[in-house]
């Protein structure tokens, strides 16, 4: 039976809340792991293309921290005897570790937080008890249920990386501000002393709906804006915009440099940063072409990458190299693996965190000073979020004016998507040894 208890200062509670907010962008459940000297919260998304983990150091993050793994029974549950792991709903934790209390109830703001694990093997319900000690003697008590799990981690070998850069997250934030809310993917490469970030969306485009195609945005910043930039020029790696935004949004709150490490396209890329006893890492699967020599125009990124799937060459390369790397790596733990479906399932997810403009007029005052441009926006526009891309009206009623050209594009965009699925969609019966080079876990 494991025993775990720790306590947190208010600042640490907020930091924990920030981390949970960030993790919630990847999936609903968080894996909660306690070891002798650290607590780890991690999330692996459904499609297993993104993994995010926060490690809280026992001696620097917590006020007090104690963990011991007793004997008896529990070894059947946990993979390692020196570790306790379980899974919880992020929403539940978020409501417990609620962020900064509003100014109104300053008297009863949180002063301390104590967390204790009640693992009771005799009873069916095991709980994590969170006690928030607030001002004026108010105590808030949360008992959260958890479920024991085998936690999966993305393996990322930092010693093998060949490309690395580090930058203040605010610069990356500025870049994402230029992207439209519907941008799904982000391509990153460098050339001529510039690092170029390009958004694109892998939407199979219908020729009739040319105006529905998303804006294509690319933002180039000087390499000097980076703390250091040690990455090969013309090497395109593409990741999900949503994951990128989640990582930098949190890194910005941490007020620290964010470092990206990667080897090449179709291998994982990791964003990482450490601050105040917290180690954060985001391991994201990249897509792209193994040799990015002939894509000078960033705007061609999408078709180029798709075509890369059709040629078998890059795949072979990656398989060969993974087998050599395999020798040094621990064998994968036995677990049920979901088929890696690439991004085809993700593509249907709409970006829910669109930067929706706030409702135009908050105050009831009729005569507000004329300053803010947003006050001119139309209120209660339910469809405002979609408005950017959903276009319905055609002034001409004449679709054929540039019809032939559009038809040409249609198969180009649609076909690779289908083929990609064939190639990436591994049937569940496939042997483990064949999976390397495709996912995070090799």
206 is an interface residue for another protein by CB under 8 A: no
Please report, for residues 82, 85, 102, 327, 373, the alpha-carbon distance to residue 71 in angstroms, rounded to integers and kept in the order given. Answer: 10, 15, 44, 34, 65
User: Segment near another protein (CB under 8 A), from 49-57, 97-105, 304-312, 362-370?
Assistant: 362-370
Q: Which stretch binds another protein (CB under 8 A): 13-21, 91-99, 119-127, 160-168?
A: 160-168
Q: How far is the CB of 319 from another protein (least distance, A)?
A: 20
Exactly one of 79, 408, 414, 432 binds another protein (CB under 8 A); which one? Answer: 408
SS3 at position 113: strand
**Region of residue 341 (phi > 0: left; psi between -120 and 50: alpha; otherwise: beta):** alpha
Nearer residue to another protein within complex by CB, 76 or 367: 367
Q: How far apart are CA 389 and CA 239, in angstroms?
A: 22
* Cβ-based neighbours of 343, under 8 Å, separated by 6 or more: 47, 49, 185, 202, 240, 287
Min separation Cβ 440 and another protein, Å: 20
Q: Give 265's strand partners.
A: none
Q: Is 322 in the site for another protein (CB under 8 A)?
A: no
377 binds another protein (CB under 8 A): yes
Q: Which is nearer to another protein, 92 or 301 (CB)?
A: 301
Cα(10)–Cα(63) distance, integer angstroms: 10
- Binding to another protein by residue 226, rule CB under 8 A? yes
CA distances 234 to 71, 294, 300, 437, Å, are: 55, 8, 13, 22
The only residue of 126, 149, 347, 409 in contact with another protein, by rule CB under 8 A: 409
Report the C-alpha gap between 18 and 249 in whole angstroms: 10
Count of residues touching another protein (by CB under 8 A): 76
Q: Distance (Å, rounded) from C-alpha 131 to C-alpha 101?
A: 16
Asked if 192 touches another protein (CB under 8 A), the answer is no
* Complex with another protein: residue 288 or 342, whichever CB lies closer: 288
Nearest distance, CB of residue 93 and another protein, angstroms:
27
CA distances from 261 to 130, 179, 329 (A): 36, 23, 18
Q: Which of residues 43-82 bind another protein (CB under 8 A)?
A: none
Under a CB-based contact definition with an 8 Å cutoff, are residues 294 and 199 in contact? no
Q: Does 382 bind another protein (CB under 8 A)?
A: no
The residue within the footprint of another protein, chosen from 31, 134, 219, 241 (CB under 8 A), is: 219
Are the C-beta atoms of 9 and 65 separated by less than 8 Å?
A: no
Rounded least distance, CB 111 to another protein, Å: 30
Instruction: For residue 329, state whether it binds another protein (rule: CB under 8 A).
Output: no
Give DSSP secondary structure letters for 156-168.
Answer: --GGG--EEEEE-
292-311: which residues touch another protein (CB under 8 A)? Answer: 299-300
Q: Which of 358, 379, 427, 428 binds another protein (CB under 8 A)?
A: 379
Quick check: 276 binds another protein (CB under 8 A)?
no
CA distance 250 to 24: 12
Q: What is the CA radius of gyration of the chain?
A: 24
Which residue, 175 or 249, has its beta carbon nearer to another protein? 175
The answer to the question of residue 155 lying near another protein (CB under 8 A) is no
Only segment of 36-44, 145-153, 334-342, 402-410 that touches another protein (CB under 8 A): 402-410
- 279 contacts 251 by C-beta, under 8 angstroms: no
Pick the binder of another protein from 27, 216, 253, 322 (CB under 8 A): 216
- Which of 59, 105, 111, 394 is close enough to bind another protein by CB under 8 A? 394
Please identify which residue in 3, 87, 213, 319 interacts with another protein, judged by CB under 8 A: 213
Among 100, 143, 160, 338, binds another protein (CB under 8 A): 160
List, in order, residues 6 or more apart from 87 with CB less than 8 Å away: 29, 30, 31, 32, 146, 147, 148, 149, 151
373 makes contact with another protein (CB under 8 A): yes
Among residues 89, 94, 406, 435, which is the contact residue for another protein, using CB under 8 A? Answer: 406
Q: How many CB atoms lie within 10 A of CB 130?
A: 20
**Is there binding between residue 389 and another protein (CB under 8 A)?**
yes
Query: Whole-angstrom Cα distance, residue 173 to residue 167?
Result: 11
- The binder of another protein chosen from 114, 164, 419, 421 (CB under 8 A): 164
Both tokens of residue 176?
A: 């994402």
State in angstroms the smallest separation of the CB of 38 from another protein.
15
Residues 111-130 that bind another protein (CB under 8 A): none
């Amino acid at each position: 039976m494991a025993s775990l208890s720790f306590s947190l200062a208010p600042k640490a509670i907020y930091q924990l809340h920030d981390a949970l907010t960030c993790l919630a962008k990847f999936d609903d459940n968080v894996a909660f792991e306690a070891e002798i000297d650290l607590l780890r919260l991690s999330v692996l998304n459904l499609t297993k293309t993104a993994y995010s983990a926060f490690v809280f150091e026992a001696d620097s993050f917590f006020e007090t921290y104690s963990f011991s793994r007793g004997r008896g029974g529990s070894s059947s549950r946990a993979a390692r005897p020196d570790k306790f792991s379980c899974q919880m709903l992020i929403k539940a934790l978020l409501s417990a570790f609620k962020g900064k209390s509003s100014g109104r109830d300053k008297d009863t703001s949180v002063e301390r937080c104590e967390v204790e694990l009640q693992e009771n093997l005799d009873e069916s319900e095991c709980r994590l008890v969170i006690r928030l000690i607030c001002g004026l003697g108010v105590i808030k008590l949360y008992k959260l249920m958890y479920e024991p799990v085998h936690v999966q981690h993305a393996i990322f070998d930092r010693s093998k990386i060949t490309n690395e850069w580090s930058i203040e997250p605010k610069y990356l934030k500025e870049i994402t501000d230029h992207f439209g809310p519907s941008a799904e993917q982000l391509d990153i490469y460098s050339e001529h002393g510039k690092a170029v970030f390009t958004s694109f969306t892998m939407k199979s485009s219908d020729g009739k709906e040319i105006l529905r195609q998303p804006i294509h945005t690319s933002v180039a910043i000087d390499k000097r804006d980076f703390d250091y930039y040690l990455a090969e020029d013309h090497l395109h790696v593409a990741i999900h915009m949503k994951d990128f935004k989640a990582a930098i949004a949190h890194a910005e709150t941490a007020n620290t440099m964010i470092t990206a490490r990667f080897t090449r396209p179709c291998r994982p890329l990791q964003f990482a940063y450490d601050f105040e006893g917290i180690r954060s890492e985001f391991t994201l699967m990249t897509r792209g072409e193994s040799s990015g020599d002939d894509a000078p125009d960033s705007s061609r990124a999408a078709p180029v990458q798709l075509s890369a799937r059709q040629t078998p060459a890059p795949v072979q390369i990656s398989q060969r190299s993974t087998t050599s790397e395999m020798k040094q790596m621990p064998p994968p733990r036995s677990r049920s693996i979901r088929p890696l479906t690439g991004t085809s399932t993700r593509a249907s997810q709409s970006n829910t965190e669109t930067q929706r403009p706030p409702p135009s007029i908050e105050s009831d005052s009729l005569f507000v000073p004329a300053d803010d441009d947003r006050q001119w926006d139309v209120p209660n526009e339910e469809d405002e979020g979609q408005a950017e891309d959903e276009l319905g009206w055609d002034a001409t009623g004449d679709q054929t004016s540039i019809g032939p050209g559009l038809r040409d594009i249609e198969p180009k965009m649609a076909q690779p998507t289908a083929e990609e699925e064939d190639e990436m969609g591994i049937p569940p019966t496939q042997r483990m040894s064949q999976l390397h080079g495709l996912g995070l876990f090799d």
